[in-house]
Structure 1
Amino acid sequence: MGRYVARRLLQMIPVFIGSTLLIFLMMYALPGDPVRALMGDQAFDPAVVANIRKDLGLDQPILQQYANYLGGLFQGDFGTEIGSQRPVADIIADAFPVTIRLTLFAFAFTVFVGVGLGIVAGLRPDTLQDRGLLTLTLVLISMPSFVLGFLMQYLFAFQWQLTTPTVRDSMNFGELMLPAIVLGSLSLAYVARLTRTSMAENLRADYMRTAVAKGLPKRRIVGVHLMRNSLIPVVTFLGTDIGNLMTGAIVTEGIFNVKGVGNAIYEALIRREGATVVGIASLIVLVYLATSLLVDLLYAVLDPRIRYA
């Protein structure tokens, strides 16, 4: 197991470099000049702009800029915003905990509600409960997140006045509840359907008939044999879904005015602040890689037949 983990960690290095390089090139390939944008509509001296670009290293070849950025990244330096001269690490330190809090809230909602609904429907396929779940999840999958967000905002905030329409305090879990539900609704639909399908298929498996024939208690048959095998595809989806929730939070944070990563990326794109976008994207890439490794390790826990030599 230790050798497998070490090998996976080594494989993450080229993946991280390749993904961040692609993001870096895409960001700096966008039209516009962030230094020129600082001047606004007023007249400017081209020599002054050239000196500023030279001080920031923007006059160097793009690959050299990426090499400099990567070298600073390994030392904990995410760069500096051109407009505000504020370290990107400080921006991330302010925005990332908010998005992490919102993502974990949405992830917990997805796991407990989605898996729970999937288990109820999977144990009783082709019943009214099963058809109701499939209909509900189909509606959630078909509805765009911004439509669901405005709908939930209208009902819970304006009609029933159960919560505030926007988040005023990002540290308040009560105010983050509605954005988290909206953020996790699409993932909940997929998790519920995946759990339901996996459990319905495993109910007809040979090992289930053997467990019943041996006279094992129903609680052990469902809780140990059926659940452990049925949750493997669900765990695979949930592992990658953490990163999807973080990137999907951009729309949700905009609807509910949450000052998280989504708001920071949006403002950075408007101001053409490439260092901020690339820095946040680099952290999200690390989250994807870490959750991918964790999912692979969980396979061996859920299924004893899986071993990493």
Structure 2
Amino acid sequence: MGRYVARRLLQMIPVFIGSTLLIFMMMYALPGDPVRALAGEQHVDQAQIDSLKQQLGLDKPILMQYVIYLGNLLQGDFGTQIASQRPIAEVIADAYPVTIQLTFFAFTFTVIAGITLGVLAGLKPESLRDRGLLLLTLLLISVPSFVLGRLSQYFFAFQLGIVEPNVSLQENWTELLLPASVLAALSLAYVARLTRTSVAENLRSDYIRTAVAKGLPRRRIVTVHLMRNSMIPVVTFLGADLGTLMSGAVVTEGIFNVKGIGSLVFEALRRREGATVVGVVTLIVLVYLLCSLLVDLLYAVLDPRIRYA
């Protein structure tokens, strides 16, 4: 297991470099000048612009800028935001805790509700509850997130008055429940459908028939034999989905005024703050790589037949 983890960590290095280099070059290849954009309509001396570019290292070739960025990153320096001259690590530290809370609620709701609905439907395929689940998940997949967010805001906040329509600057966990539910809706639909399909397929497997023939209790068959094998594809999806949720949802955070990573990226793109976008994406790439490694390690826990030499 130790050798496998070490090998996976080494494999992550080229993935990390390739993904961050790609987004780095894409951001700095966009038209426009972020330094000149700070002045807006005001006239700024070219010497001042050149001086600020030299100070931020924007006067160097793009590959040299990337090498310098990686060197600073190894020291925990994500760069400096052009507009506010604040360290990007500090800007991310202000926004990321909100996204982590939102992700925690959304992921918990996805796992509990999605797997429960999927198992109930998969144990009785082609039944009324199975067809009802397929209809519900199809509806959640078809409705765009901004429509679902506005509808939830209208009914639960403006009509019923049980929640606040927007998240305040001093947010508490209750204000995040509604946006977390909207954020989790699409993932819940996929998890429920994937769980239902996996359970229904494994229910017809030979090892399940053997367990039934041996007279094992139904609860043991479902929880020990059926669930462990059925959860492998679900865990794979949840691992990738966790990275997606933690990267922040621009639409959901915009609707509910959540000041998280999604809003930070949107504002940075609008101001063409390439350094901020690259810093956030770098953190997101690290989250994705870590989630991928954890998922691979969970395979051996779920299925004893999987072993890592």
* Partner SS state of residue 161, structure 1: coil
Deviates more, 1:165-174 or 1:9-18: 165-174
Which residue does 2:47 correspond to in 1? 47
Percent identity over the alignment is 73
Find the aligned partners of 2:203 and 2:145 in 1 and give their Cα distance: 34
Which residue does 1:288 correspond to in 2? 288
Deviations 1:254-305 (Å, cap 9, x if unpaired)? 0000010011111111111111111111111001000000000000000011
* Partner SS state of residue 164, structure 1: coil
Matched, 1:152 2:152: yes
Find the aligned partners of 1:229 and 1:40 in 2 and give their Cα distance: 59
Find the aligned partners of 2:47 and 2:168 in 1 and give their Cα distance: 44
Which residue does 1:164 correspond to in 2? 164
Contact kept in structure 1, 2:80 and 2:88, CA below 8 Å: yes
Contact kept in structure 2, 1:166 and 1:257, CA below 8 Å: yes
Shift of 1:54: 1.3
Deviations 1:188-221 (Å, cap 9, x if unpaired)? 0000000000000111000000000111111110
Find the aligned partners of 2:306 and 2:230 in 1 and give their Cα distance: 15
Provide the TM-score with structure 2 as the length reference: 0.98
Contact kept in structure 2, 1:170 and 1:259, CA below 8 Å: no
Give 1:6-25 correspondences, 5 Å limit.
6-25=6-25
Which residue does 1:33 correspond to in 2? 33
Find the aligned partners of 1:97 and 1:60 in 2 and give their Cα distance: 34
Shift of 1:43: 1.5
Deviations 1:64-121 (Å, cap 9, x if unpaired)? 0011111101100011111111110110100011101101110000000000000110
Contact kept in structure 1, 2:268 and 2:276, CA below 8 Å: yes
Give 1:136-215 correspondences, 5 Å limit.
136-169=136-169, 171-215=171-215
Find the aligned partners of 2:223 and 2:62 in 1 and give their Cα distance: 55
Contact kept in structure 1, 2:99 and 2:248, CA below 8 Å: no
Find the aligned partners of 2:38 and 2:194 in 1 and give their Cα distance: 50
Matched, 1:94 2:60: no
* Partner SS state of residue 133, structure 2: helix
Deviates more, 1:299-308 or 1:268-277: 268-277
Contact kept in structure 1, 2:248 and 2:261, CA below 8 Å: no
Deviations 1:111-148 (Å, cap 9, x if unpaired)? 00000000110111111100000000000001111110
Provide the TM-score with structure 1 as the length reference: 0.98
Q: CA RMSD in A?
A: 0.9
Find the aligned partners of 1:212 and 1:248 in 2 and give their Cα distance: 45
Contact kept in structure 2, 1:170 and 1:258, CA below 8 Å: no
Contact kept in structure 2, 1:72 and 1:79, CA below 8 Å: yes
Contact kept in structure 2, 1:99 and 1:261, CA below 8 Å: yes
How many pairs were matched up?
Answer: 309
Find the aligned partners of 2:33 and 2:85 in 1 and give their Cα distance: 16
Contact kept in structure 1, 2:248 and 2:260, CA below 8 Å: no
Shift of 1:171: 4.3
Matched, 1:135 2:129: no
Find the aligned partners of 1:250 and 1:42 in 2 and give their Cα distance: 31
Find the aligned partners of 2:263 and 2:23 in 1 and give their Cα distance: 18
Which consecutive residues of structure 2, in runs of 5 or more, have no partner in the other structure? none
Give 1:293-308 correspondences, 5 Å limit.
293-308=293-308
Find the aligned partners of 2:103 and 2:268 in 1 and give their Cα distance: 21
Shift of 1:246: 2.7
Shift of 1:247: 3.5
Which residue does 2:109 correspond to in 1? 109
Amino acid at match of 2:14: P
Find the aligned partners of 2:119 and 2:35 in 1 and give their Cα distance: 55
Question: Where does structure 1 differ by over 2 angstroms across 4 or more consecutive aligned residues?
Answer: none
Contact kept in structure 1, 2:167 and 2:176, CA below 8 Å: yes
Amino acid at match of 2:82: I
Deviates more, 1:114-123 or 1:261-270: 261-270
Which consecutive residues of structure 1, in runs of 5 or more, have no partner in the other structure? none
